[in-house]
Structure 1
Amino acid sequence: MTIGNIYAITAIAVVGGGLFGFDISSQSAILGTYQYKCYFNQGPDYPTAANPQNCSGPTASTQGGISASMPGGSFLGALISGPLSDMVGRRRSIQVGSVIWVIGSILVCASQSIGMLVVGRFINGLSVGICSAQVPVYVSELAPPSKRGRVVGAQQWAITWGIMIMFYISYGCSYINGVAAFRIPWGLQMLPAIFLFFGLFFLPESPRWLARKDRWEECHAVLTLVHGKGDANNPFVQVELQEIKEVCEFERQNADVTFLELFKPNMINRTHIGMFTQIWSQLTGMNVMMLYITYVFGMTGLTGSANLIASSIQYVINVFMTIFALIFIDRWGRRGPLLTGATLMAIFMYANAGLFASRGHPAPPGGLNNTPEESWVIGGATGKGVIACTYLFVASYAPTWGPVSWIYPPELFPLRLRGKAVALTTASNWAFNFALSYFVPPSFVNIKWRTYIIFGVFCTVMAVHVFFMFPETAGKTLEEVESMFMSGERAWNTRVEYGRIRAVEQGQVDPEKLAQVAHDELAAPVETKVDEA
């Protein structure tokens, strides 16, 4: 049995995104517990008979390395995912990622040393890199245009669910004495990958990948199943099949598929937009603040269970605010949420920096709670203000940059390059995730509250960059997006076309006219190329 409902397909596929969420909170909820600190302790404080929980844990730089090992693996995994996906298909490449995750989780769960933990997390990262790059490609190539943003954005929702579920599992396990407190959560994170591996057997392959392999009957069958509700003669299915054929033919005549093509003059603008979508999503500071939130709240005076509970609230906010994007993102478009999110996040980053600078003071040597990263003290109403701004920051990111950073890159590129292009853009995400994961613990120790100013400046710059360089892709077929870039239309002149594409899908507009427009615009560059020759 092959599942044809796009929402059911999405629900299974985006479990691959949930793996990243599991990893984030399996670290953030555990790194502050005495069980973790004492097992991987590097001083200067060590347990004593009088105080067996007196452990400093790994040093700031070592903890940064432990945290960064996963995005380091993800960077490599994202790069290899493009060729892997083009060779074996979108669906099978995600299955490969799920197998790798299980292997990495076994090593992490069984870690006897920091070195073994780092290796296991690096292998987990390979899996996350493959899945985070190819799940958006897979779902975007299956989804109807009017639902593409919603279903690709579900990847981010799966990440938020993974974060929240694993955080509460880790929080509950923190009451267990001994190493089981962190080994149980690290072992349980294998379960979603096992579900993903077997669930993918019931899903269809990407019709556009099948088309590139000249498997046209299977391509037509998948379009019929997912978009035509079993009717092979459905008008929208017919026009979509024709568009895919024309794009495939155009691509065969005009380019070879290599990574280098992404940097040629006619493609480098799209490559830069896709890469910076993922780079900026990291430079917002969101994933860093999610990973190290217990440090931030520790500086406001929260300790133990109170800290973990307060930290968990932002994970709940993240889950429920993402729902708005899933419902409205195809109507909102891509530019609007990116501009709004960047502006709001900048405001809250600057607000936190101002509160820390004006109302706080340095912590005693060694940091609060034997944690050097908790290097600043701010309490009372001002501390609550920091917590509130942190929650509002998360609420600003969740329906904007969170889902759009996964939705947008697959929409930018032509079929022949989509797998490799999204692999490269996602690798950019993981490269900066790696750098920031390593940078933040030492930055809390050395520059303290000024860390917030750095991220506030990033959010300001990204808002300007989006306005001038990021065109609107919502409400267009993937083939129409290709035509839009060929025409050279200015980013600020592009608009959401949700109503038009919905009318086409529902048969209220003649789809043959849409196909003719796409055909004419695709033909223009070919004629130009012949004239130049």
Structure 2
Amino acid sequence: MRGQPVTDARDNELDMDKEQVEDSAGILGAPPSLPITRSMTATGVEIHAQESTLARNHTVPGTSSNSPTVVSYNVPPAQTPMNKRSIYYVSAFCSFGGFLFGADTGSIGSITSMPQFIEVYPTLRNEAVLGALVATILMSASLASFASGWLSDKYSRKWTIMLGAYIFGIGAALEAGSFNLPMLIIGRLIVGVGEGFFLSAIGVYLVEIAPPDVRGRISCMLQLFVTIGITTGYFTCYGSLNIQSTLSWRTPFIVQAGVAMILGSGMQWLPYSPRWLFQNGRVEEAWRVLEAFDRHSSSEKEKEELIAKAQERQGRDETLGVVEVFKDPDSRGRTLLAVFMMGMQQLSGIDGVLFYGPILFSQAGLTSRQGSFLASGVSGILNIVCTIPAQLYLLDKWGRRSSAIVGGLVMAVCMLTIGSMYAAGADAGQGRYAIIVFIYLFVIAFSTTWAVSFKLFITEIQPTRARATASSLAHSSNWLCNLAVALTTPLFLSRSSSGPYFMFGACLLLTSVVCMIWMPETLGKSLQEVDEVWDIRMKKSKEIIHSLVTFGVGRERRNDTNEMELQERGRA
């Protein structure tokens, strides 16, 4: 089959020995066993990788428009054609990892408030012990997340998700069967390891299988399932609260263990990430995955991008480790921004609301246990209802940057308003309902903005060879800040009703400013084009910082000059 012309760097490069031809064809995906032929044309050299079966030709971007060399290579057709919707089915299934995370987050606060649970573990009446138990899962998750990047690069995103799901299931089963505090703590530690493995791997997997035009929709599937899990956790506890035995608090753990085993078993049937396959030299498999997903509208652009990445692989390391991402100038700034954003996502206070919802609503005036549980469930429903339009429409229309900035400012207003009402003593009477409304507004703002935009942005902004490592570092930052929130929120609330809200509001304002200066817009960009918008944004951010510094120095000099003039007038 005849290929399309590819430009060559020089006009006079018409001779190419057979060994070079075979090497080039091998890089681009033509199987080494296929015969390579060469023919002369009026414009250059034409190379053919011949195949007897039906194949498709793709163009490799060249370096010059003069006297092109024509390289034809063959991409094996998909063995099993799939429906265009198959990418949504695959994304939805692996996103059950988000459901597991959400189910634990939504249930643990309610479980620790159940009378049947407190009867078995009376020491958890102490706020410090309670915070430590809730945070146990976060400690192991933050450590496991460091290893997730290496596992994803070494053994694939797919197998890392599977391993994490099985580990989570074992830990949840231990929690369900626990009869003393050490056994419960060990179970939560194991659950945390599973979450640390699969959460960052799922985020990378979804970004890498999704075409640019629907990447936001596909990648936000994870957050949608997180919200579904949170709500399921709330209402599972609400339903099991009336069981007059330890099954009241064991049931949520049993549900989580079952879902985890289903996820682990089913992952073996899902395809590998095409970018991971390409990165590891399994080019034919990568093409088959792309063809199977029928990447219609953006397929040619993306295939050219993958080819460019294959050429880029020559003579350089395949992936970057934890130290290398900070040494490499191309990935250092992106990694630092990702680590900052994912840490500040937790310091927004969202998990303080989700973990300790019953406590917050009780403090706001809902004294009955069922009332506070139900109010927490309502916040979970709002989470789902708001995430769906954000996933289907807002993120791929509004953009990542606008979502981050506007969402941060709205949430800051909510948190600072609640803190001010508590500080002014306006939380009594009708004021308590205003506090509950602002808590709900905060949840709505988070669900429609930061919840969906941050995890997508920090993954798609990274170069392919640093994506898994940078993503795992960012998630580790998220876990560590989550740990700090889980440990301190009960103690903080017991000593100051307003303090936590003021702290969260300040963090939200700071993050909004950072996003204004350093965050580029990646909406509709291929992962190759993201590199360009990142460079442009960095130039603009330097100009902004320089202007601010210049303005500050100039103002200081003007103040000094005015002060000297006043002193001289005084002497006169």
What is the TM-score of this pair, normalised by structure 2?
Answer: 0.77
Report if the CA contact (8 A) 1:318-1:395 is conserved.
yes
Structure 1 residue 202, shift from structure 2 partner: 2.8
Report if the CA contact (8 A) 1:155-1:406 is conserved.
no
Report if the CA contact (8 A) 1:160-1:319 is conserved.
yes
Structure 1 residue 170, shift from structure 2 partner: 1.1
Q: Within 2, Cα distance between the matches of 1:308 and 1:419? A: 38
Identify the match of residue 322 of structure 2 among 259, 267, 287: 259
1:266 match: secondary structure? helix
1:15 is aligned to 96
2:69 is aligned to none
Report if the CA contact (8 A) 2:410-2:445 is conserved.
yes
Q: How does 1:322-337 map to 2 (within 5 A)?
A: 322-328=387-393, 329-337=395-403
Identify the match of residue 211 of structure 1 among 275, 278, 282: 278
Q: How does 1:285-434 map to 2 (within 5 A)?
A: 285-302=349-366, 303-328=368-393, 329-359=395-425, 378-434=427-483
Write the deviation string for residues 397-452 of structure 1: whole angstroms up to 9, x where unpaired.
Answer: 00100111211111111111111111111111101111111111111122332111
Write the deviation string for residues 70-90 of structure 1: whole angstroms up to 9, x where unpaired.
Answer: 111211121111111111111
Q: Does 1:249 align with 2:316?
A: no
2:381 match: secondary structure? helix
Question: AA paired with 1:273?
Answer: L
Q: Within 1, Cα distance between the matches of 2:322 and 2:310? A: 18
Structure 1 residue 288, shift from structure 2 partner: 1.3
Q: Which runs of 5+ in 2 are unaligned?
A: 1-79, 543-572
Structure 1 residue 289, shift from structure 2 partner: 0.9
Write the deviation string for residues 15-60 of structure 1: whole angstroms up to 9, x where unpaired.
Answer: 0111110111121222222112221112xxxxxxxxxxxxxx4311
Structure 1 residue 487, shift from structure 2 partner: 5.2
Report if the CA contact (8 A) 2:274-2:289 is conserved.
yes
Aligned residues: 457
Q: Does 1:278 align with 2:342?
A: yes
Q: Within 1, Cα distance between the matches of 2:484 and 2:338? A: 19
Q: How does 1:102-121 map to 2 (within 5 A)?
A: 102-121=169-188
Question: AA paired with 1:268?
Answer: R
Q: Within 1, Cα distance between the matches of 2:538 and 2:207? A: 23
2:502 is aligned to 453
Question: AA paired with 2:105?
Answer: I
1:209 match: secondary structure? helix
Structure 1 residue 322, shift from structure 2 partner: 0.6
Q: Within 1, Cα distance between the matches of 2:492 and 2:82? A: 48
1:477 match: secondary structure? coil
Write the deviation string for residues 128-181 of structure 1: whole angstroms up to 9, x where unpaired.
Answer: 111110101001100010111111111111000001012111111110112111
Report if the CA contact (8 A) 2:341-2:511 is conserved.
no
Question: AA paired with 1:246?
Answer: A
Q: Within 2, Cα distance between the matches of 1:348 and 1:485? A: 31
Q: Within 1, Cα distance between the matches of 2:141 and 2:478? A: 9
Question: AA paired with 1:271?
Answer: T
1:76 is aligned to 143
Question: AA paired with 1:331?
Answer: K
Identify the match of residue 221 of structure 1 among 243, 263, 288: 288
Where relative contact order (Cα < 8 A, 6+ residues apart) is larger, the structure is 1
Structure 1 residue 273, shift from structure 2 partner: 1.1
1:492–1:18 CA distance, 2 compared to 1 (3 A): farther
2:193 is aligned to 126
Report if the CA contact (8 A) 2:82-2:294 is conserved.
no
1:205–1:452 CA distance, 2 compared to 1 (3 A): same
Q: Within 2, Cα distance between the matches of 1:250 and 1:220? A: 18
Report if the CA contact (8 A) 1:2-1:202 is conserved.
no
Q: Within 2, Cα distance between the matches of 1:236 and 1:41? A: 58
1:240–1:225 CA distance, 2 compared to 1 (3 A): same
Report if the CA contact (8 A) 2:176-2:253 is conserved.
yes
Q: Within 2, Cα distance between the matches of 1:334 and 1:487? A: 16
Q: Within 1, Cα distance between the matches of 2:181 and 2:214? A: 44
Q: How does 1:29-178 map to 2 (within 5 A)?
A: 29-42=110-123, 57-178=124-245
Q: Which has the larger radius of gyration?
A: 2
Q: Within 1, Cα distance between the matches of 2:219 and 2:249? A: 32
Write the deviation string for residues 312-340 of structure 1: whole angstroms up to 9, x where unpaired.
Answer: 11110011001121112111110111011
Write the deviation string for residues 256-291 of structure 1: whole angstroms up to 9, x where unpaired.
Answer: 632222112332210111111211110110011111
Report if the CA contact (8 A) 2:213-2:298 is conserved.
no
Identify the match of residue 462 of structure 1 among 489, 497, 511: 511
Report if the CA contact (8 A) 2:386-2:448 is conserved.
yes
Identify the match of residue 257 of structure 2 among 187, 190, 202: 190
Question: AA paired with 1:66?
Answer: L
Report if the CA contact (8 A) 1:471-1:492 is conserved.
no
Report if the CA contact (8 A) 1:410-1:418 is conserved.
yes
Report if the CA contact (8 A) 1:472-1:491 is conserved.
no
Report if the CA contact (8 A) 1:97-1:130 is conserved.
yes
Q: Within 2, Cα distance between the matches of 1:432 and 1:316? A: 25
Structure 1 residue 183, shift from structure 2 partner: 0.9
2:201 match: secondary structure? helix
Q: Within 2, Cα distance between the matches of 1:316 and 1:252? A: 50
Question: AA paired with 2:263?
Answer: L
Structure 1 residue 65, shift from structure 2 partner: 0.5
Q: Within 2, Cα distance between the matches of 1:474 and 1:251? A: 26
Question: AA paired with 2:104?
Answer: D
Question: AA paired with 1:71?
Answer: L
Calculate percent identity across the aligned residue pairs.
29
Structure 1 residue 358, shift from structure 2 partner: 1.6
Q: Within 2, Cα distance between the matches of 1:492 and 1:326? A: 29
Structure 1 residue 116, shift from structure 2 partner: 1.8
Question: AA paired with 2:130?
Answer: Q
Question: AA paired with 1:259?
Answer: V
2:11 is aligned to none
Q: Does 1:269 align with 2:333?
A: yes
Structure 1 residue 380, shift from structure 2 partner: 2.2
Question: AA paired with 1:316?
Answer: I
Structure 1 residue 490, shift from structure 2 partner: 4.2
Q: Within 2, Cα distance between the matches of 1:236 and 1:64? A: 47
Q: Within 1, Cα distance between the matches of 2:189 and 2:310? A: 37
Structure 1 residue 492, shift from structure 2 partner: 7.2
Structure 1 residue 3, shift from structure 2 partner: 6.0
Q: Within 1, Cα distance between the matches of 2:287 and 2:179? A: 52
Q: Within 1, Cα distance between the matches of 2:317 and 2:537? A: 20
Question: AA paired with 1:269?
Answer: G
